[in-house]
Structure 1
Amino acid sequence: MALGAVVLGGAGVAVLASSASDGGVAAASAGTAPIKTSVRSLGLTGATASVKSLAARSTAPFSMVGVTWSGAHAQLRGTVEVRTRSAASGTWTRWLAMAQPDEIPDPAELDRPGVRGGMSPMWSGASNGVQVRVVAAHGVATLPAGLTVDLIDPGKARTTGAVVAAGAASPALGLAGYALTASDTPTPTDTTSYTTAPADSGSPTDTTTPSDTASPSDTTTPTSASPSDTPTSTSPTDATTSAPASTATSSVSPSTSLSPTASASPWPGQLPTLAQAYPSCPAASGSPSASATQTEPSPLPASTTSKVAAPTVVTRAGWGADECARESGYPAYGAAVKVMFVHHTDTTNSYSCSDSPAIVRGIYAEHLRQTWRDIGYNFLVDKCGTIFEGRFGGMALPIVGAQTYGFNTNSMGVAAIGTYTDFSGGDSTASTFPGAAPSKAMLGSIARIAAWKFGMYGENPSTGTGSLTEGASDSHGFTQGTSYSFQPVSGHRNGFATDCPGNQLYAQLGTIRSYAAGPVSGLSVTGMSGGAAKSGTSYYTKGAANVAWSAATPSAVISGFDVLVDGKAVAHTSGTTFSAAISVAPGSHTVQIRATHITGTTTLSSGVSLVGDTTAPTFPATPSVRLRTGTVSSTAVPVTVGWKAADNAALSKVTASAPSTATFGPTTTSWSTSAKPATSDLFALKASDVAGNTASASVYRTPHLIQETSATRTGTWTRRSSSNYLGGYSYSSSAAKASISWTFTGRSVSWIVSRSSSSGQAYIYLDGTKITTVDLKSSTTQYRQAIWTKTWSGSAKHTLKIVVVGTSGRPTITTDGIATIS
């Protein structure tokens, strides 16, 4: 068993506990103290029996508000509205309508003496002022007696729970365990306190009075229950527990599991010990209705085993439950969990997940203020997907909660912290808080609980059905003693006249069932990195690759992932890890991801091609360098570098590093650049394949500029001087058949001219053969233009001859020399 410390909002430490065996979820160690929680109740007064209120006043700090009254069966028909003042900003909220209660104990718990009625508690956040008004509905003459507003300070965590290594003997409370001796039981130093002030007693120290005095409109509330029947406890059948080892983290994380199967924990370890059921408490803070005789449940609930690993849960000790505040002893047990009823707490969605433990403590305190035996829910889940243990008694056992009136036996209640009504329209007006869409993390954690619990009884969370017998005589739409069939994951509204859990969460119950039943859906490889790169539809690597994937199913219900190469598992991760490093041999491979659902079913992704490639690219021939057309200067001659690069798998790119830098795609085979005249220039290239293998090739070439002083002229030529010409001068001629010739040794040549709108034409002869006719005419004046080029495979001696055509109307040509490459 392992316990991980989880920092909550910087205020202290709660304990996130789990076990690697089927024993289930552990709790805080014996050294963890409960968190001091206080409830201050202020009476409401009024001039008439149909209107009660509490004037705006300053109060001691609180974070949750409840309104309760005498008599569990008394009905409050009307509206209850509160305003609270922020302790941080000093501003008052608008009037907020409290929700009618719908999480209600069954008759056996509800009919005990002293049980109070109450509205659903409302999380206000840190506050220090309150105002309340209660108005009976139209036609209702009297409000219930004993109306109070309950200001709940959930306290702050400050004690660090011990961390117990996996496999070590643990003194901790836990689902598998609850196996402490009396000497192991923590003695609380802080206890929950309850104080009730007389009606409207004392003047507030802060005289700020809200300006909003409008009377609330009349509302009609559902008929509340007046139950009479008491469900009986019967022996359970088989069930399960198992959870992964958890490690200390800096934030509360969604539940996870590393293995879909595990061995059952020893019995009676799942049942709390007598010392845990009847905690040793200070005399001044004895638990309510404590029994003088410590007795075990009769009959004992049967041990449970499941094919599904238990989720990671923040235990009661982890969220700071004061075990001396609840009714001491064991809760009632059913025979098996047949139905999960999903609820929402109808509180604000703008809470921080670090506030979740305090919200749970606040709900616990208000349920106890109503004299319930304990918190009503079996589990609570926040928007970050963190699961909190609810009612005491052993999470692996079928504890009878106080959550769906008439159907609490053989069911469990899981409360989603927040409000999940419609954004607008629909049931958006059913809550004072704006609705929200439940997070994927929340849905996944609810599904995780369902899969684990239903795995104890072999029930399919998606296709199964569960039968429950109505235990109350006055639940609207249901008949006492009649058996009703439910889907395994049902909404509170399916078993009671309520809007709970809100339309948006209710619409996701099918998703929860699918998540719980499996298999994992939406599984696909999303990419590869870490030495692997993609080209086309395949990835290439020299050997190493980091594979990434995604799944539509949340991590909470995924046991783990395997990376398969050619059908063989080569790497494994937990359900919360979506990448893994692998290596492959040279050759073509298929990579797939196999996801294992917590039920043990597997899903295989489509294959992705990964090619192992350790062969470098090649340059079959030395790169070529040839002259090209363009503007020439005394420092730069335009050239084209050509190459051919090849690879056995997939060429990625070619890069140039000299005489300048450039990068080219795999299909590019030439590069237009320039070279410095009269200098042996290095032209260097590197070819890279997609896998990262490389090969280099280079060549040295020297460009030359040869002007007219080295030429042989015939006919009439005129020397012209200008800084625009190479060397400051050029030669021009308008005489037909005048010629100029250069003899040179090289592998490439270009003729350099000046051009204008009046330029004429010239014949080009190479080694005595007429090659072409070139027209020098240009709409703009251009100097030092390489207008014609010729390249050979090797260096040799050649003669270039230019002959004036004598074009009619524009006979003149101007030559500025030639460029060669040797």
Structure 2
Amino acid sequence: MRSRRIWGTAAAVAAGVSGVLVLQGVVGSPTGSSGDDGRTGGAGEPVTAGVRSAALKVADGGRSAASGKRDVAPFSMLGVTWSDPSARVEGTVEARTRAAGTDTWSNWLVLDGDSGQGESGAGRGGTEPAWVGPSDGVEVRVRAGGKSSPVLPEGLRLDMIDPGGVTTARMEPAAFTEDGPTGEPSASAGPAEPVTPAPEVTQTPAEPAPEPTGTRSETATGVPPTSAAPSAPAPASPPASSAPPSASPAPTVSVPPAPPSTAPRPPITDRAGWGADESISPEAPGYLPGGKVRAVVVHHTAESNSYTCDQAPAVVRGIYAYHVRTLGWKDIGYNFLVDKCGRIYEGRKGGVDRPVMGAHAYGFNAETTGISILGTYTDTAASTAALTSVARVAAWKLGQYGVNPAGTVTLTAGDAGRSHSGKTWAKGARLSFPAIHGHRDGYNTQCPGNRLYGQLPTLRTWAAGPVSGLAVTSVAGAGQSGTTYYTKAAVTVGWKASTPAALVSRYELLVDGKVAATTAGSAASAKATLAPGTHAVAVRAVHVSGRTATTAAATVVAETTAPTFTTKPNLALRTGTVNTGAVPVTLKWKAADAAALKEVKLTRPVAKTYGPTTTSASHTAASGTATTWSLTARDQAGNTATASVAGTPVILQESAAKKSGTWTTKSSSSYLGGKSSSSSARSASLTWTFTGRSAAWIVSRAATSGQAHIYVDGTKAATVDLKSSTTKYRDAIWTRTWSTSGKHTVKIVVVGTSGRPAITTDGLVYLK
């Protein structure tokens, strides 16, 4: 094991850090049950957070400060603070840490240089706290960069917080040191430095004082009976750095009412659920002087996004300890916190359903509630789950006071200020803000980060309603032709929406303007049975605020009339190459429907599907075998009709014909039956007699082939030229079809074409 000296342990002892850690499973996630009102009650025990502080070495005439790379007792959150709570670092503050029990150092993390001026009576100013995960090594560097403040503020120090409930690979007593083999401190640890203990935060009730921050003094004591944060008894020996003031009589608190809201209350993990140590924040909550939340300010906590959702309660505890024990605030600054998995945590005590005064938006705390998403969202967008929960809290809180989340409000500045965009104002100015806006709109900070700030329009839409992106996506159980759907009766209508399901109260399936089915907000389809006729079918979404949105209506026709075959299926021989197992045939039909024909399917002897306008198809059939061709016509509603036709192709060899003139028999495997008849004699003929409804003459063709006259039932029907640039065998070159079956004769006569008189016939095929 390499030698380490733990830096800052003296300060840890002075701060009275508890050496007892509560396992994550106890308070790491909400353990209470959710009631009908959506409140999640916590069953966890309070967790004592450890705070260690160490002064930073200032150099370069007050323009830079650093800690050097140090071994420290385990911690999971850090921040850099300074003596004057009204000062800010105009420059860069960076830190890097070593994962506990390893030699792995993180990249440099830039800390947001200003946590906001918080509330009156704050003990120190500081950066936003940064969650770094279980760590036992740290290095910090600070450099001034501002023109108005060329040097860093006084009293710079590093504050490290162990929020408790986070298991680390290396957890040592606060006063533990580890020396090298010779008993000397390890060189890697660096020289020991004097450490400034965390200041003792004294928050005794006092008379109201002028409020430079616009937050009004919060002197009321006692938590309202409905508060989700029951007071925890103070420990017998509280840490020295967070010792509560001695008890003193408190005046009776006038607790504002908890008005009903137009939106439902989402599940919220209360302070006990995330392990709040109430002993470090004994001062009573304060409430908005007007008793009304007029706007929601969205923040990010400006820390790493690498925390797991099981670690989120520890992150909240770390922020709580940083705000109270390090900065000297009376309580955590935010009213609500949301992790990246969408879980909501109660922040400042006083009752989540009450207008509790927070310390999150300098100059505008008196009229707003603050919601902060754990993590940093400068280059990374907030998760859909987190945005959804922020929207739910915003809709609920603003709904208590009749404020439209998508509207604008006018707020009175409690002090002079400047926004991130450079807009300035004087104390008492009346300023217009979106009802849901980012911290940067009312204070010169990057919070809530560029990406999250860009998501605020979506957040407002989700919170205010109506449901956006609503559209019908499907009508199952129905066929579609153009813009009209056809069904027998039952349909399942599907839809989509861009508003998260948690913000949708319900969906309603409308048929001709009347509710035919109602579903939960998480549903994406509903069923209905339609009476015969034409109907207008639409979907209506009801937002949690009560506002509604309705899709365009789809036309759905319910009908049960089957299609008809206006032309019954029939078969005919066609031209092409003939084999005994594959005689070319054409199948013909015509189907129609009173509403909309969808398709015609051939189901036997093979399976094929044809469109509604197709009326014929080419196939082959085996000779000498009776074959049934079955068709099913289907309309868009699913109604069907069937029809069929049967036929048998029969091949008549040339030997079956009555001959006149001179004919020569030729043998080849290329001929039907292995033989054919050929003649060059003018007027030589072959005559076949048969009973059927279609016939085709089969020949062999070449460049030297001649012509032949064809007579049907004694009448000349055609003259056919057998000449072909390529040699062909068994070629059905001519066909004739009759409307009904009958007895017919087909006679071929050699023309005797000059230079190429010969013709070769391979027989006749007819359809019986």
Alpha-carbon distance, 1:714 to partner: 1.2
- Is residue 406 from structure 1 mapped to residue 363 from structure 2 by the alignment? yes
CA-to-aligned-CA distance 1:581-604 (integer Å, 9 cap, x gap):
222233322111112223322222
Are the equivalent residues in 1 in contact too, given 2:292–2:355 (CA < 8 A)? yes
- Is residue 26 from structure 1 mapped to residue 42 from structure 2 by the alignment? no
Deviates more, 1:352-361 or 1:685-694: 352-361
Mark the CA change 1:291 to 1:449 in structure 2 (over 3 Å): closer, same or farther.
farther
Q: For the residues of structure 2 that align with 1:792 and 1:728, how far apart are their CA atoms?
A: 30
Alpha-carbon distance, 1:385 to partner: 4.4
2:131 aligned partner:
123
2:95 aligned partner:
82
User: What secondary structure sits across from 1:447 in the alignment?
Assistant: helix
1:189 aligned partner:
none
1:155 aligned partner:
165
Count of aligned pairs between the two proteins: 706
Mark the CA change 1:141 to 1:592 in structure 2 (over 3 Å): closer, same or farther.
closer
Q: Which has the higher contact order (CA 8 A, sep 6+)?
A: 1
Determine which of 704, 728, 733 is the counterpart of 2:679. 733
Q: For the residues of structure 2 that align with 1:567 and 1:815, how far apart are their CA atoms?
A: 73
1:520 aligned partner:
467
Alpha-carbon distance, 1:126 to partner: 4.7
Q: For the residues of structure 2 that align with 1:10 and 1:659, how far apart are their CA atoms?
A: 71
Q: For the residues of structure 2 that align with 1:87 and 1:710, how far apart are their CA atoms?
A: 101
1:783 aligned partner:
729
Alpha-carbon distance, 1:491 to partner: 2.3
User: What secondary structure sits across from 1:571 in the alignment?
Assistant: strand
The amino acid across from 1:231 in the alignment is R
Q: For the residues of structure 1 that align with 2:764 and 2:48, how far apart are their CA atoms?
A: 97
- Is residue 53 from structure 1 mapped to residue 66 from structure 2 by the alignment? yes
Deviates more, 1:290-299 or 1:669-678: 290-299
Are the equivalent residues in 2 in contact too, given 1:106–1:471 (CA < 8 A)? no
Deviates more, 1:492-501 or 1:440-449: 440-449
Alpha-carbon distance, 1:356 to partner: 4.0
Determine which of 231, 235, 239 is the counterpart of 2:216. 231
Alpha-carbon distance, 1:90 to partner: 5.0
Alpha-carbon distance, 1:472 to partner: 8.0
1:457 aligned partner:
401
Mark the CA change 1:46 to 1:332 in structure 2 (over 3 Å): closer, same or farther.
same
1:278 aligned partner:
231
Deviates more, 1:663-672 or 1:707-716: 663-672
Are the equivalent residues in 2 in contact too, given 1:540–1:611 (CA < 8 A)? yes
- Is residue 365 from structure 1 mapped to residue 375 from structure 2 by the alignment? no
User: What secondary structure sits across from 2:331 in the alignment?
Assistant: coil
User: What secondary structure sits across from 1:678 in the alignment?
Assistant: coil
2:640 aligned partner:
694
RMSD: 3.8
Q: For the residues of structure 2 that align with 1:609 and 1:690, how far apart are their CA atoms?
A: 13
The amino acid across from 1:387 in the alignment is I
Mark the CA change 1:721 to 1:341 in structure 2 (over 3 Å): closer, same or farther.
same
User: What secondary structure sits across from 2:735 in the alignment?
Assistant: strand
User: What secondary structure sits across from 1:644 in the alignment?
Assistant: strand
Q: For the residues of structure 2 that align with 1:766 and 1:643, how far apart are their CA atoms?
A: 26
The amino acid across from 1:328 in the alignment is P
Mark the CA change 1:797 to 1:533 in structure 2 (over 3 Å): closer, same or farther.
same
Alpha-carbon distance, 1:470 to partner: 0.4
CA-to-aligned-CA distance 1:18-66 (integer Å, 9 cap, x gap):
655xxx541225xx21474643525245375845434434555544332
Structure number with greater Rg is 2
Determine which of 504, 507, 527 is the counterpart of 1:558. 504
Q: TM-score, normalised by structure 2?
A: 0.82
Alpha-carbon distance, 1:342 to partner: 1.8
Mark the CA change 1:273 to 1:349 in structure 2 (over 3 Å): closer, same or farther.
closer
User: What secondary structure sits across from 1:451 in the alignment?
Assistant: helix
The amino acid across from 1:98 in the alignment is L
Are the equivalent residues in 2 in contact too, given 1:556–1:575 (CA < 8 A)? yes
Alpha-carbon distance, 1:343 to partner: 1.7
Deviates more, 1:336-345 or 1:138-147: 138-147
CA-to-aligned-CA distance 1:562-588 (integer Å, 9 cap, x gap):
110111111222333222222223332
Determine which of 78, 84, 106 is the counterpart of 1:93. 106
Alpha-carbon distance, 1:376 to partner: 1.1
Mark the CA change 1:686 to 1:296 in structure 2 (over 3 Å): closer, same or farther.
farther
Q: For the residues of structure 1 that align with 2:485 and 2:529, how far apart are their CA atoms?
A: 13
Determine which of 468, 488, 498 is the counterpart of 1:542. 488
The amino acid across from 2:443 in the alignment is F
User: What secondary structure sits across from 1:645 in the alignment?
Assistant: strand
Are the equivalent residues in 2 in contact too, given 1:9–1:355 (CA < 8 A)? no
Deviates more, 1:133-142 or 1:776-785: 133-142
2:260 aligned partner:
305
Alpha-carbon distance, 1:813 to partner: 1.1
Alpha-carbon distance, 1:703 to partner: 1.3
1:625 aligned partner:
571
2:9 aligned partner:
none
CA-to-aligned-CA distance 1:89-134 (integer Å, 9 cap, x gap):
8532222221112334221x42xxxx33321112324544322233
2:30 aligned partner:
14
Are the equivalent residues in 2 in contact too, given 1:78–1:135 (CA < 8 A)? yes
2:547 aligned partner:
601
The amino acid across from 1:805 in the alignment is V
Are the equivalent residues in 2 in contact too, given 1:761–1:806 (CA < 8 A)? yes
CA-to-aligned-CA distance 1:693-750 (integer Å, 9 cap, x gap):
3333233321111101110111121110000000100011122221111000111111
1:39 aligned partner:
50
The amino acid across from 2:345 in the alignment is F
Determine which of 383, 389, 392 is the counterpart of 1:448. 392
CA-to-aligned-CA distance 1:519-564 (integer Å, 9 cap, x gap):
33332212222x2333321223333322122234444443222110
Q: For the residues of structure 2 that align with 1:711 and 1:681, how far apart are their CA atoms?
A: 26
Determine which of 497, 500, 525 is the counterpart of 2:447. 500
2:438 aligned partner:
491
CA-to-aligned-CA distance 1:150-199 (integer Å, 9 cap, x gap):
14355359xxxxxxxxxxxxxxxxxxxxxxxxxxxxxxxxxxx999879x
Alignment of 1:342-353 (within 5 A): 342-349=298-305, 353=309
- Is residue 134 from structure 1 mapped to residue 88 from structure 2 by the alignment? no
1:106 aligned partner:
119
Q: For the residues of structure 2 that align with 1:208 and 1:684, how far apart are their CA atoms?
A: 93
Are the equivalent residues in 2 in contact too, given 1:79–1:137 (CA < 8 A)? yes
Determine which of 333, 347, 355 is the counterpart of 1:376. 333
Are the equivalent residues in 2 in contact too, given 1:760–1:775 (CA < 8 A)? yes
Listed as ranges, the gaps of 5+ residues in structure 2 are: 1-23, 190-209
User: What secondary structure sits across from 2:365 in the alignment?
Assistant: coil
Alignment of 1:294-333 (within 5 A): 298-318=253-273, 320-328=274-282, 330-333=284-287
Mark the CA change 1:565 to 1:634 in structure 2 (over 3 Å): closer, same or farther.
same
User: What secondary structure sits across from 2:40 in the alignment?
Assistant: coil
Are the equivalent residues in 1 in contact too, given 2:538–2:552 (CA < 8 A)? yes
Deviates more, 1:616-625 or 1:406-415: 616-625
1:292 aligned partner:
247
CA-to-aligned-CA distance 1:339-380 (integer Å, 9 cap, x gap):
222222223445555554443333223223323222211122
Q: For the residues of structure 2 that align with 1:329 and 1:503, how far apart are their CA atoms?
A: 35
1:805 aligned partner:
751
Determine which of 399, 416, 419 is the counterpart of 2:376. 419
Are the equivalent residues in 1 in contact too, given 2:229–2:349 (CA < 8 A)? no
- Is residue 436 from structure 1 mapped to residue 380 from structure 2 by the alignment? yes
Listed as ranges, the gaps of 5+ residues in structure 1 are: 1-7, 158-192, 211-224, 236-267, 422-434
The amino acid across from 2:236 in the alignment is A
User: What secondary structure sits across from 1:301 in the alignment?
Assistant: coil
The amino acid across from 1:56 in the alignment is K
Alpha-carbon distance, 1:208 to partner: 11
The amino acid across from 2:528 in the alignment is I
